[in-house]
Amino acid sequence: MKNRLSVTGKAAGTAAEASESTTRTAPAVERTTENGTGLYLPDEASVSAGTVKSDRPASFTLQNGLQVVVIPDHRTPVVTQMIWYKVGSADEPPGKSGLAHFLEHLMFKGTSKHPADEFRKAVLRAGGYQNAFTGFDFTSYFQHVPREHLGKMMEFEADRMTGLILNDEDVLSERDVVLEEFNMRVANQPGARLAEQMMAALYLNHPYGHPIIGWRQEIEKLTREDALTFYKRFYAPNNAILIVAGDVTTKEMPSLVKETFGGIPAQPSIPLQRLRPQEPTPAAQRRVTLADSRVEQPALHRYYLVPPARTAAAGEGPALEVLEQLMGGGVNSYLHLSLVVEKQLAVTAKASYQSAALDPSRFEIFAIPKPGVHLSLIEHSIDEVIADIARNPVSTEDLQRAKTRLIAQVTYAQDSQEMLAHRYGRGLTTGLCIEDIERWPDDIRAVGAQQVHEAVRKWLDKKRAVTGYLIKESTPQHWEKP
């Protein structure tokens, strides 16, 4: 290939450089090679041989609609319980952005049976930990405790599914906490503010364009009534998935779950499918520039509107995942080799594909230039890499390496109960089934060079994209107001 640096033709770099890879990257192992010390990524066979796998998950559903997934893993006497509600920020009513995340905070305020702070103290006494998080399509709560405390954790979680009690004082206080979180994570972070504006530009009609944390002026108006209405509408067993990963058996779980959750009535008003406003066909590329005096490192971001795993055509989702690895999955990726190694224009260049979503998702590119390098030059170089992949077939060696890396990431993830529970929870709440998740490695293995070629040409069209520049605010010009 004329312009592209070969993945197999470059040393992988140093351990420090390895930290530049995407979050899904499998741990690299430092080995001594004939050319010196470099990073060695084990092949698929050695990964599988060296990793203890959990048992296959089992699933059942209670009469009230609660889906339960059990992932036995007997390596340590601990368990991770995660309950996933199939509701996120994209399900909020108009004008109430941030409500799903706000309710996540309020879910720790207690019930009549278990007053505020009792749940937290019980987890601490057990020597465990807990947390929660909100996404566009889901809200999840989890605990990681010794296995003998699982029944108690289930009791707490079942109780707050319907028994949450809120008073105005707690609600107003927690709203202030969320507003402070907004200040810390968004208002005082130029990169986060750029991402917020780019999402609003990418999604012209879909609620993915609203920030998960919410718009500040709407957060300020959220009330106790808003939270309780949302809670009563969406928090029900037939809108939830309970995942238990750890030192449990599939035989013991049905009776335990039924005893704890079985008496909670279903919410009949919850629809079987979530229907949201959809995006029109993109017609023009969009640009967003955010200038801020606090910017220390300018950066370029680009978001492409692409299909998620749920709605992509056969083979298309896996092809986009392989493309992510080829383009920006670490120090051997095309973007890194071109912009960082060959042209020495950038200090980092990455790509990622958000496959887990109910509705149109994103393929993202990110680069930080070296001091003095203009972002337009970075953008031009990124476009060259994309055009090269669109013109020339990916080599067999590069394709195999990318697929091996992806499969290795998922294989290594089986070492973590939380990662296992998260993988299944995120997939199931965004429209996949257990068979889809289990089949994923085979789908990746089946990706061919032609599918990658077609994915680039079809989806990485700048008409489908928003390009964002993050720059340091300069001194106002004479015609500008100070």
Report the CATH number at residue 464: 3.30.830.10
Domain containing 369: what range?
A: 7-41+278-472
Is residue 272 in some structural domain?
A: no
What is the C-alpha separation between 102 and 226, in angstroms, rounded?
A: 10
Is residue 273 in some structural domain?
A: no
| End position of a domain, from candidates 234, 261, 288 | 261
In this structure, the answer to whether residues 313 and 167 fall within a common structural domain is: no
Question: Which residues, other chains included, contact 391 with Cβ-Cβ below 8 Å and sequence gap of 6+?
Answer: none
In this structure, the answer to whether residues 288 and 218 fall within a common structural domain is: no
What's the sign of the alpha-carbon dihedral 126, 259, 69, 51? positive
In this structure, the answer to whether residues 417 and 283 fall within a common structural domain is: yes
Question: What pLDDT was estimated at residue 252?
Answer: 94
Indicate the number of domains in the chain: 2
In this structure, the answer to whether residues 223 and 131 fall within a common structural domain is: yes
Q: Please list the pLDDT of the chain residue by residue as tens digits (482 residues).
A: 344 543 333 323 322 332 333 233 333 222 222 333 233 334 444 444 444 456 789 999 999 999 999 999 999 999 999 999 999 999 999 999 999 999 999 999 999 999 999 999 999 999 999 999 999 999 999 999 999 999 999 999 999 999 999 999 999 999 999 999 999 999 999 999 999 999 999 999 999 999 999 999 999 999 999 999 999 999 999 999 999 999 999 999 999 999 999 999 999 999 989 999 999 999 999 999 999 999 999 999 999 999 999 999 999 999 999 999 999 998 999 999 999 999 999 999 999 999 999 999 999 999 999 999 999 999 999 999 999 999 998 999 999 999 999 999 888 888 899 999 999 999 999 999 999 999 999 999 999 999 999 999 999 999 999 999 999 987 554 444 44
Is residue 477 in some structural domain?
A: no
What is the C-alpha separation between 255 and 262, in angstroms, rounded?
A: 9
Question: What pLDDT was estimated at residue 28?
Answer: 28
In this structure, the answer to whether residues 249 and 347 fall within a common structural domain is: no
In this structure, the answer to whether residues 243 and 124 fall within a common structural domain is: yes
In this structure, the answer to whether residues 124 and 224 fall within a common structural domain is: yes
Backbone torsions φ then ψ of 380, nearest 5 degrees = -60, -40
Is residue 21 in some structural domain?
A: yes
Task: Return the closest-CA partner of residue 82 out of 57, 117, 53, 106.
Answer: 57
Is residue 2 in some structural domain?
A: no
Question: What pLDDT was estimated at residue 5?
Answer: 44
104 in active site: yes
What are the start-end ranges of the H helices in 414-479?
417-429, 434-445, 449-459
In this structure, the answer to whether residues 35 and 87 fall within a common structural domain is: no
Question: What pLDDT was estimated at residue 137?
Answer: 98
Strands (E), 91-188: 129-134, 139-146
In this structure, the answer to whether residues 451 and 353 fall within a common structural domain is: yes
In this structure, the answer to whether residues 21 and 136 fall within a common structural domain is: no
Is residue 266 in some structural domain?
A: no
Is residue 327 in some structural domain?
A: yes
Residue pair 466/202 in contact by the 8 Å Cβ criterion:
yes
In this structure, the answer to whether residues 406 and 363 fall within a common structural domain is: yes
Element (H, E) at 290: strand 286-292
Is residue 166 in some structural domain?
A: yes
Among 104, 157, 196, 324, the active-site one is 104
In this structure, the answer to whether residues 19 and 103 fall within a common structural domain is: no
